């Protein structure tokens, strides 16, 4: 598998906040044990909704201990800043701090202006209770909302710092400020594709010499009063009776929709010589990445085309043949049409390897984490490379003839490389190819 020798980019740190826990060990143990994180919906009242179960990051309470080991100054700063962070931003900061601790880098080992951050997110929505008092103050005698009273009576009841909680560029801003990262910074808001695109942009930033180290991550949620309603109105969501831990079943013949979840994850990416100069532990190397988009005139995504094109480009960049991949980490949304379109895209891009290379999909354990999904899934596959074995494709019991994949089973070797993909309903796709460091070191 070839890669341009100049400015090679390696992974030296990883951090997660997800429904399977707040640690790399917790994530891996949940995956290999075949544990589902789907349980009762508790983050907000579900009265009036047909949905009663989701994959919440239950171990994440927003307490300062959730942010991993911190020195006194950073702990004080983050605790103070929590009041201007929504839950998605809090998860982002926690994952970033855990990744930085994992990589072991110290201020003396890098120049702040050469360390940057690219962070992905969903569109961020306010919580209804942020407006409750203001709306109540503008209620007319007949119970209707008096618009002409909002400026004088409603807006003064909003938290003055309300907007700062929900700007999608805030995760990158908070992380850069807390850690004195003065290098290139950017924010990506392309829903489920955001994480893969953040990895790709961070990689290119290092390769072109603009930085020596970058944080690449994403945070997201579909477990939110407004986003949950939006998903129920516009996408296929798993509902009904039966064991909810069996609802997320990517590529299975009997799948009935995605499960909603939340989470965040971060990779520390470094230029190879920079990492080696500080004797960093190297997990893996990013050798290919791509972003593509395809949609019709109405803005509906042509997911098969987008994913297929992105996979082919990432493989070309990596100089990799499809049959050389150790495994595929699929988007695996668990919707009827989404999985069929993705399976067709893999057939287009990978050829016969699509039916022979083992396939995993961590969403089978925790559903769709929105923008947070992609990087969590990449970390899961990096851990598989390190362990040398794959976790099984959970809940895949009956093959769908229209999804001719080779589901991973317990004990399958992870191989030396993998390709991971993500795509949005609007047809924005991102892919990465990551190679085990042990295979080239």
CATH architecture of the domain covering 9-125+166-439: 3-Layer(aba) Sandwich (3.40)
pLDDT single digits (tens) 342-366: 999 999 999 999 999 999 999 999 9
In 36-86, which ranges are continuous DSSP H helix? 72-81
Determine the Cα–Cα distance for residues 184 and 202; give it in Å rounded to an integer.
9
What does the pLDDT read at residue 439? 57
Parse the chain into domains and list their residue ranges: 9-125+166-439, 130-163
DSSP for 4-32? -STT-EEEEEEEEEBTTBSSHHHHHHHHH
Determine the Cα–Cα distance for residues 158 and 90; give it in Å rounded to an integer.
21
pLDDT single digits (tens) 352-407: 999 999 999 999 999 999 999 999 999 999 999 999 999 999 999 999 999 999 99
What does the pLDDT read at residue 11? 98
pLDDT single digits (tens) 179-212: 999 999 999 999 999 999 999 999 999 999 999 9
Contact 204, 210 (CB under 8 A): no
Strands 358-360 and 262-271: unpaired
What does the pLDDT read at residue 47? 87
What does the pLDDT read at residue 2? 45
Dig out the tokens for 234 from the structure: 């516009």
Ranges of the chain with pLDDT below 50 = 1-4, 440-441
């Amino acid at each position: 598998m070839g890669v341009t020798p100049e400015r090679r980019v390696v992974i030296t740190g990883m951090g997660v906040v997800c429904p399977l826990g707040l640690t790399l060990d917790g994530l891996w143990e949940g995956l290999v044990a075949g544990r589902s994180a789907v349980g009762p919906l508790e983050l907000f009242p579900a009265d009036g909704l047909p949905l009663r179960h989701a994959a919440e990051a239950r171990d994440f309470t927003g307490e300062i201990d959730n942010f991993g080991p911190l020195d006194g100054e950073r702990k004080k700063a983050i605790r103070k800043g929590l009041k201007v962070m929504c839950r998605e931003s809090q998860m982002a900061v926690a994952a970033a701090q855990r990744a930085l601790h994992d990589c072991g880098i110290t201020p003396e080992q890098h120049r702040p202006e050469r360390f940057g951050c690219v962070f992905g997110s969903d569109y961020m929505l306010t919580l209804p209770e942020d407006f409750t008092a203001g709306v109540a103050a503008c209620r007319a005698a007949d119970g209707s909302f008096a618009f002409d009273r909002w400026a004088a009576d409603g807006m003064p009841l909003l938290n003055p710092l309300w907007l700062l909680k929900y700007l999608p560029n805030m995760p990158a801003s908070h992380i850069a400020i807390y850690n004195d990262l003065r290098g290139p910074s950017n924010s990506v808001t392309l829903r489920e594709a955001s994480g893969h695109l953040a990895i790709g942009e961070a990689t290119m930033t290092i390769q072109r010499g603009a930085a020596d180290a970058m944080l690449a991550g994403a945070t997201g949620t579909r477990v939110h009063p407004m986003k949950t309603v939006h998903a129920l109105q516009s996408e296929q969501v798993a509902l009904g009776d039966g064991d909810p831990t069996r609802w997320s079943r990517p590529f299975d013949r009997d799948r009935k929709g995605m499960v909603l979840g939340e989470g965040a994850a971060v990779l520390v990416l470094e230029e190879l010589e920079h990492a080696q100069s500080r004797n960093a532990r190297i997990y893996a190397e990013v050798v290919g990445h791509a972003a593509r988009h395809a949609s019709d005139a109405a803005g509906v995504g042509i997911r098969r085309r987008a994913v297929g094109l992105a996979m082919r480009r990432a493989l070309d960049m990596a100089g990799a043949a499809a049959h050389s991949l150790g495994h595929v980490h699929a988007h695996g949304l668990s919707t009827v049409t989404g999985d069929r379109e993705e399976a067709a895209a893999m057939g287009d891009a990978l050829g016969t390897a699509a039916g022979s290379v083992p396939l995993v999909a961590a969403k089978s354990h925790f559903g769709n984490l929105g923008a947070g999904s992609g990087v969590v899934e990449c970390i899961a596959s990096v851990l598989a490379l390190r362990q040398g074995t794959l976790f099984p494709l959970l809940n895949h019991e009956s093959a769908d003839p229209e999804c001719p994949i080779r589901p991973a089973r317990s004990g399958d070797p992870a191989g030396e490389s993998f390709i991971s993909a993500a795509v949005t309903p609007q047809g924005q796709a991102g892919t990465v190819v990551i190679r085990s460091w042990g295979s080239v070191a």
